[in-house]
Structure 1
Amino acid sequence: MAMRVIRFASLTPTPWKNGGGTTTEIAVSPDGAGLENFDWRVSIAVVAGDGPFSLFPGIDRALTLIEGDGLAMAIEGRPPLTLTTASDPLPFPGDVPVSASLIGGPIRDLNVMSRRGRIRHHVARHDLRAGPAALPSGGTRLVVSLGSGPMAVGEAALTMAFGDVIEMAGENPVSLQGSHPVLIISLTASGPGLR
């Protein structure tokens, strides 16, 4: 199993052009890809103001609130909804109009994007205080720490801080144990000839 730990504190946020927040890119494939040519991208954003989302044609997205009081979401073709830190990750296509309004102040969210027809993604919350998680086999798996403390990934013992990420690739399932909540992201190829 290939594994690397990405420390959130070592990453540099990028301000939005409209001044409404910042985005910190955590991981992208292929390495060094930009917004026009990534296969998948994982980032954490601080949203400080209301407004529309950028459009990403051909991209599927999942948004998970990880800090703050809430985000009122308006996605074209769907009833209005409110995203909180207790909500399941919200999947939606990147090529439909979306706008959001803050509830009670700035929030922090985790954003997963994958190129439709090439990569499928799945994001799930898991509270390790309730018991270990079994990470799925195959593809790329990322574990985003939503707390601080020890975590065991298979036989590897780690100390994690909020926002730190473990990225893994391999065919075998892996057991995850710890003392705080995490987000588990699975990324698998969906196009012909991809593995």
Structure 2
Amino acid sequence: MSALRPVPADALRTQAWANGAGTTTVIASGPDESNWQWRLSIADITQDCAFSPYPGTQRQFVALDAPIHLHFGDQRDVSLLRLSVTHFDGADAPHAQLPEGPTRAFNLMLRGDAEGNLIARPLNGSMWLPARESWPWFVYLLSGQAEVRVEDEQMNIEAGSSLWIDALPRQRIRIEGGGELLLVQLAQGPRGVSAT
């Protein structure tokens, strides 16, 4: 079984927001589309707007292209520079302001017992990822080029592409290249993922 599985671009579908302020492209969700416990998506946010509430959902959120300012109902304000990650309860839907214009944002949403971590970082040379049983990695290359290798298996990825890494604990995961990437490690495997 291959440890590296690309996410095909033609499997993704983009849906416009009801308020007309942006779109969401769901990259993957599991264990199924209608009853997901985790979801990975990219939002294109074109104007200041209120986010939709997601009760019972924990969100991890990172601005990809330009800063974003989030104002929550409890008067809490969070200003995110590009590639800064924040966590918040999906029920507390913030109002978003775009001080430098439209941006994209990457979302990791978790429900129930699902666990995961979102990391945004530059890639300059080589980096190594720890492999854990039943904790696959998801890699999205935001810019640049990279080679992903698990033991003798390797795959080259370009900006805008993504893949899953299903490595065993004894295997070594190396990513080498230059650019910027997003990493998600999930406690729940992507088998049966529905990309919508």
User: CA separation of 1:29/1:148 partners in 2, compared to 1, >3 Å: closer, same or farther?
Assistant: same
Please say if residues 148 and 159 of structure 1, whose CA atoms lie closer than 8 Å, have aligned partners that are also in contact: no
Provide the TM-score with structure 1 as the length reference. Answer: 0.83
More displaced 10-residue stretch of structure 1: 77-86 or 180-189: 77-86
Aligned to 2:78: 81
Aligned to 2:42: 44
Matched, 1:185 2:181: no
One-letter identity of the residue aligned with 1:177: E
Say which SS state the counterpart of residue 124 (structure 2) adopts: helix
Aligned mates of 2:167, 2:18 — CA distance in 1: 38
Aligned to 2:145: 149
Aligned mates of 2:176, 2:130 — CA distance in 1: 11
User: CA separation of 1:162/1:126 partners in 2, compared to 1, >3 Å: closer, same or farther?
Assistant: same
Aligned to 1:192: none
Q: Percent same amino acid at aligned positions? A: 25
Aligned to 1:193: none
Larger RCO (CA under 8 A, 6+ residues apart) = 2
User: CA separation of 1:54/1:121 partners in 2, compared to 1, >3 Å: closer, same or farther?
Assistant: same
Provide the TM-score with structure 2 as the length reference. Answer: 0.83
1:46-85 correspondence runs (5 A): 46-67=44-65, 69-77=66-74, 79-85=76-82
Gaps of 5+ in 2: 189-196
Give the drift of 1:7: 4.2
Give the drift of 1:51: 1.5
Aligned to 2:193: none
User: CA separation of 1:176/1:78 partners in 2, compared to 1, >3 Å: closer, same or farther?
Assistant: farther
